[in-house]
Structure 1
């Protein structure tokens, strides 16, 4: 049987969890329909998900249809939990993007569509809620074309939209008008079909279906279905479209073992459960497997032994001796595993599709005696979401985490209370700034006490994003391999805290000098690892850095009479605005603004626009901070103070 790993994605409240429930019910996996409002759906299992009616964590369910086993991955729609969506994207064979027929394309819909297009994930679009008042098939399709993409193939029409009797009427492949509409959509991306369209030649239905499946598989075009997850309208046709047009590739079962971890849970006993997709080969109980750390610089492997394997099938999790390529599995025994790690061989690390968290907040326990327990709890939560980026600084408010938004705060606070019995409070939220290198800095240390190593470094701005670029200006034989590896690892850690305490980005580092051969017998990896931050600190001081704040690009649609009010607010918030553009009775305003101000706009926009304004945001990079540079409380030894650094190293060794 083919296996299709299918993501259900949408803006919050578009109905994707209800759609997941309806698909499972239609397939006979569940006997009664649960509901988001009643809090008894199959995939929203957290109490907070049921209380708030939103999806917070991705969840897996499974059913079979037309000879295909479909593993459904229900994902969050709220932007505060976009990291959950990103992790799921890497394990998908295809996706259903859900859009409400009433609200239409919304901000998060466009963000998700861009990510699916970049990754070329085969996608069908399901226009949900056709039974709701205000829904319209033609208007919904026009909204998709205007706000999302023109590469659409409507697979039918809607009858009685906006009423409980609304239904989806699928196009008939023998109908010439339906064939013509499909041909016209496909011809733009297929020269053979374009020639047939230009010559007004008929194309066989079988050929059109095959070409539609091919273009969908390559992420070039998107079949569109209409229906209602509540009434069941259009569900059977959607399932047909999923199995007809989304590819279920046959994975290499005989290849080397490879799997990617997209979720980590803990059971009631505190044992880790890793949810993963097996990309190739097979995972078996009692296998000892290599785990690659997703956060390490050079790939670092650890070995763990699998103690239990479960696979998702027919709506339940079934214990198995083996998880084959293509399976979604839940595995026990991987004590070192984290979200984003992978097992065995993988050609490249996953590429980020969404912006990292832009906010940071200190978190403190109400009872100071709970500080050690809070640290332990947050360490476990960071296994489930590495982007929490837990930091331990100095002082009673030194514990901080990264955030996407205010709702995520509420979820973390609730989780700590319910799962760990910890009452906490957050201090003020602030942006996560970065430091950029301004000039060129050269520094060298010749075997200073107590380090038996010599290291010379030159730092300057680079074009690379993320991890630093390392250049060697010394012969490979100038030092043993462990010395180069230790320097590289130390640089990755040291760049996490620049002159002002923020991460240094876009850095290029050259090793200009290193321990000579005669030092091989006396130098150790720790000498190079511990000396590197001191040399880097000197070089950064010489080069200089500037602190930059994250900025978002905003697009606001609003009634024309609301434009002066919105412009006034944005100018007060120091936004850089472009000239507004008219679109019928609406106005569109674009520009950039500090990410920390987005929440202020979101709160004010409904009242300024009589509830008719919508805003989309997208990470747009960094800009220098105006005024005094903000300073971040440091964590760990401080190489910018030599005496303090050496004293902290000495204290750590004694401990």
Structure 2
């Protein structure tokens, strides 16, 4: 009999729990078919899950089908509970990713796909709700290929093209296909297990359509893993039963586990439970490949490896918001902290922290729904009503240059010195630790002790006191004393070496980013692009039709997390914003955030940056920048960092439209950016002198062309002719106004277009770059330069007029420009005529002059 652990995953509302219910019912594991909307689904037995209609906690069910024993783990689909979902991935053999046939691939679906790839889990895709989907199979398959993998195949259509494509995966398959014009089932089983192909099936879980066929196919194409004989296990969850017993959920990855066994010398297996729903059976032993819950373990944590399995796997997902827990007045703070630590054992990503200086308890969460769920859990478990204040963004810090940090701890009768090499790591790589120290210099037991101290706590940066990340930390040297070194000495030296290194190099503040998908009406494109640029985000046009545009990109969480309401407002309910966490990137307002947090690394007594040395029998403190003068071991790396200014200012993000600034520089000299200040002494001025701002007119070219009668007729035959005619008219207009005039034309649909800016006689003509409309260019220019210039924007776009008005610019319509330009032409013509002598015929005079010259 085949035996696998199967996870079922999906974006919220894709029908994951309904599919689970259908599979359990068809297999005979349950007799009654429950429904999420009826509140009687087999695995949604928690009251909060039934009330909300979503899965909050991962749970398991065991069923058999077609000579296969399947332990199915149902995982949360809501993004707020993503960390609960990720922990289960560590123990899966296969996964079913459920896609909503109405919407196709959604943002959280992509997150799950990336996680499945990270953990290398073979995956089947089930496209649900096909009974009400407006998309056909071909559209949905193309969506999967585009967003997931080209190797997603409709397994109900195994034709010649399918076998040819799969055969190209390796030479053995290709040789077999060339001989037989097909592939055997066992070959497909192997390719699925290696994640070389991803079977796709279609159906409706609610209507039980296609589910039996899917189960037949699924059990046909899976295979049981082979496990070693030595004992190994991976812990993925901690929970408590109704009696308060601590349960450790794990998968056996090798050997055998029996009741009464001792793990890690002091952890005893009192009971082995096999859960299915909220009920369980007990067994005396459990073999590799199976999942169980152990009663008796006291200190083993989620993510921990047992036996030959390595310790904790660093999660990919993490919370990005920090909240302060507000306790009732009569609540014992320390008792409540202990209660919350129990919850943190069940969900380590809650990351409960007690701030001793402010006597506050902080917790890390992912969203509003998680907050409400947690409040209810605390009420149910501990009968205490708590609240949460407004969350703040969780920043992180990393370094830009390698540095060797030195920590020394030598009060009376103590001694230790540690040298750590800190090196920048890849984005989202977390912290990596290594040893590169000679044993004759520092015994191996002390080296491992340093490694333990590096891993035992969350180390803080020196800019804002935020956790450090994305770096490799290597022990390169150390020294102990045969008589005076105590156990805690290397803890002190290690911590101080790390902090001293951070002070010696350049640090940068990181902030969380969301990857987003924004679907809006076509007429809202300019507004959306303008907003994204104000957020310091980046985007591309993913799809565009006559009436709809889909933008995808990324932006800082701090800027975009509340943008959904604004999207609903300016699209009149037609827009939709979906986002997912996309790791950390350099903070674009670093100086501002550092100033707001106001962290003083030297005042943080719990995380000292200096060292303690000994002189004349007494210890004395040495500041971080003086440590190199006192250290006992020379630098081990060739490039020892020199002290730098710690309030590191990240390089300014340059305006992408540098050609615009060049226009103003040529005309009025260098432009001073907002936020910059001059440190030069200013002369005293007795009386204020008013200097009018220079004038600048920004013209939306195509908007004007379609509003002016002469140009509107011309454009029907030749767009270029209309464009150049407008350019000539604007040259005349600039001559009258004596201002800077910038004529902007849309070129955002031109692929790989970098945009251009050129001088045309006395005006400037700008062609926007790819994915940049004239509206967006004008809005951004107005925002940047309104404080330095009197800007007038020419457009008949009502929304555009409203936006630039809010930026302090004047605006006139394209028709008003036409009337003014016509009036000025007429006035100049009349003025010209008035200045000429009456009765003077220049044409006859020229002829007479010509004849006179010919007669000479």
Pairwise TM-score range, normalised by the shorter structure = 0.7 to 0.9
Shift of the alpha carbon at 1:195?
7.4
The answer to whether structure 1 residue 462 and structure 2 residue 424 are counterparts is: yes
Q: How many residues align?
A: 603
The answer to whether structure 1 residue 230 and structure 2 residue 206 are counterparts is: yes
Secondary structure, aligned partner of 1:428 = coil
8 Å CA contact 1:460, 1:543 repeated in 2: no
Secondary structure, aligned partner of 2:391 = strand
State the partner residue of 1:502: 466
Secondary structure, aligned partner of 1:549 = strand
State the partner residue of 1:326: 289
Return the index of the structure with the highest Cα Rg.
2
| Paired residues for 1:1-80 under 5 Å | 1-80=1-80
Give the number of the structure with larger relative contact order, counting CA–CA contacts within 8 Å between residues 6 or more apart: 1
The answer to whether structure 1 residue 203 and structure 2 residue 181 are counterparts is: yes
Shift of the alpha carbon at 1:281?
0.7
CA gap 1:54/1:520 in 2 versus in 1, 3 angstroms = same
Cα distance in 2 between the residues matched to 1:511 and 1:154: 52
Secondary structure, aligned partner of 1:478 = coil
State the partner residue of 1:113: 113
CA gap 1:396/1:268 in 2 versus in 1, 3 angstroms = farther
Shift of the alpha carbon at 1:304?
0.2
| Paired residues for 1:425-436 under 5 Å | 425-436=387-398
Cα distance in 1 between the residues matched to 2:383 and 2:327: 11
**Cα offsets for 1:46-73 (capped at 9, x unmatched):** 2111111111111100110111101111
Structure with the higher strand share, 1 or 2: 1
Cα distance in 2 between the residues matched to 1:532 and 1:105: 47
State the partner residue of 1:175: none
Cα distance in 1 between the residues matched to 2:576 and 2:230: 52
Shift of the alpha carbon at 1:288?
0.2
Cα distance in 1 between the residues matched to 2:598 and 2:36: 44
Structure 1 stretches of 5 or more lacking a match?
157-170, 172-177, 291-301, 648-655
8 Å CA contact 1:462, 1:508 repeated in 2: yes
Question: RMSD of the TM alignment (CA)?
Answer: 3.1
* The one of 163, 168, 174 aligned to 1:183: 163
The answer to whether structure 1 residue 309 and structure 2 residue 278 are counterparts is: no
| Paired residues for 1:196-275 under 5 Å | 203=181, 207-252=183-228, 255-275=229-249
* The one of 301, 320, 327 aligned to 1:365: 327
Cα distance in 2 between the residues matched to 1:494 and 1:213: 44
Cα distance in 1 between the residues matched to 2:333 and 2:305: 32
CA gap 1:597/1:373 in 2 versus in 1, 3 angstroms = farther
Shift of the alpha carbon at 1:388?
1.1
CA gap 1:102/1:444 in 2 versus in 1, 3 angstroms = closer
8 Å CA contact 2:414, 2:489 repeated in 1: yes
8 Å CA contact 1:87, 1:340 repeated in 2: yes
State the partner residue of 1:297: none
Cα distance in 2 between the residues matched to 1:396 and 1:439: 34
Q: Report the TM-score when normalising by structure 2.
A: 0.65
State the partner residue of 1:167: none
CA gap 1:249/1:540 in 2 versus in 1, 3 angstroms = closer
| Paired residues for 1:613-624 under 5 Å | 613-624=576-587
Secondary structure, aligned partner of 2:125 = strand
Shift of the alpha carbon at 1:640?
4.3
Secondary structure, aligned partner of 2:483 = coil
The answer to whether structure 1 residue 575 and structure 2 residue 536 are counterparts is: yes
Cα distance in 1 between the residues matched to 2:278 and 2:434: 49
Cα distance in 1 between the residues matched to 2:251 and 2:202: 30
CA gap 1:250/1:492 in 2 versus in 1, 3 angstroms = closer
Shift of the alpha carbon at 1:548?
2.6
CA gap 1:555/1:188 in 2 versus in 1, 3 angstroms = farther
Cα distance in 1 between the residues matched to 2:367 and 2:104: 24
**Cα offsets for 1:220-260 (capped at 9, x unmatched):** 112222212112111111111111112222434xx111111
8 Å CA contact 1:183, 1:208 repeated in 2: no
Shift of the alpha carbon at 1:85?
1.7
**Cα offsets for 1:351-408 (capped at 9, x unmatched):** 54x3322221111212352422321221011111111111111355621111222222
8 Å CA contact 2:413, 2:484 repeated in 1: no
Secondary structure, aligned partner of 2:555 = strand
**Cα offsets for 1:424-443 (capped at 9, x unmatched):** 11112112112223556666
8 Å CA contact 1:457, 1:539 repeated in 2: no
8 Å CA contact 1:30, 1:315 repeated in 2: no
The answer to whether structure 1 residue 605 and structure 2 residue 567 are counterparts is: yes
8 Å CA contact 2:76, 2:82 repeated in 1: yes
The answer to whether structure 1 residue 478 and structure 2 residue 478 are counterparts is: no
**Cα offsets for 1:562-582 (capped at 9, x unmatched):** 21222233233x223245355
CA gap 1:622/1:228 in 2 versus in 1, 3 angstroms = same
Shift of the alpha carbon at 1:213?
2.1
CA gap 1:446/1:613 in 2 versus in 1, 3 angstroms = closer
**Cα offsets for 1:4-23 (capped at 9, x unmatched):** 11111111000111111111
| Paired residues for 1:93-104 under 5 Å | 93-104=93-104
CA gap 1:149/1:561 in 2 versus in 1, 3 angstroms = farther
Cα distance in 1 between the residues matched to 2:113 and 2:47: 29
Shift of the alpha carbon at 1:135?
5.8
8 Å CA contact 1:122, 1:246 repeated in 2: no
Cα distance in 1 between the residues matched to 2:582 and 2:149: 21
Shift of the alpha carbon at 1:191?
5.0
| Paired residues for 1:312-391 under 5 Å | 312=275, 317-347=280-310, 350=313, 352=315, 354-391=316-353
Cα distance in 2 between the residues matched to 1:192 and 1:493: 48
Cα distance in 2 between the residues matched to 1:433 and 1:46: 34
Secondary structure, aligned partner of 1:552 = strand
CA gap 1:494/1:86 in 2 versus in 1, 3 angstroms = closer
State the partner residue of 2:88: 88
Secondary structure, aligned partner of 2:143 = helix
Secondary structure, aligned partner of 1:621 = strand
Cα distance in 2 between the residues matched to 1:364 and 1:267: 27
State the partner residue of 1:639: 608
Secondary structure, aligned partner of 2:95 = strand
CA gap 1:444/1:210 in 2 versus in 1, 3 angstroms = closer
Cα distance in 2 between the residues matched to 1:437 and 1:122: 36
State the partner residue of 1:566: 528
Cα distance in 2 between the residues matched to 1:525 and 1:61: 47
CA gap 1:225/1:510 in 2 versus in 1, 3 angstroms = closer
State the partner residue of 1:626: 590
Cα distance in 1 between the residues matched to 2:152 and 2:564: 31
Cα distance in 2 between the residues matched to 1:114 and 1:181: 27
Cα distance in 2 between the residues matched to 1:249 and 1:447: 51
Cα distance in 1 between the residues matched to 2:98 and 2:579: 18
Cα distance in 2 between the residues matched to 1:34 and 1:288: 41
| The 10-residue stretch of structure 1 (607-616 or 591-600) with the greater mean CA deviation from structure 2 | 607-616
Cα distance in 1 between the residues matched to 2:340 and 2:248: 18
Cα distance in 2 between the residues matched to 1:561 and 1:389: 44
Cα distance in 2 between the residues matched to 1:212 and 1:439: 48
State the partner residue of 2:820: none
State the partner residue of 1:150: 150
Cα distance in 2 between the residues matched to 1:75 and 1:314: 13
Shift of the alpha carbon at 1:139?
3.8
The answer to whether structure 1 residue 412 and structure 2 residue 388 are counterparts is: no
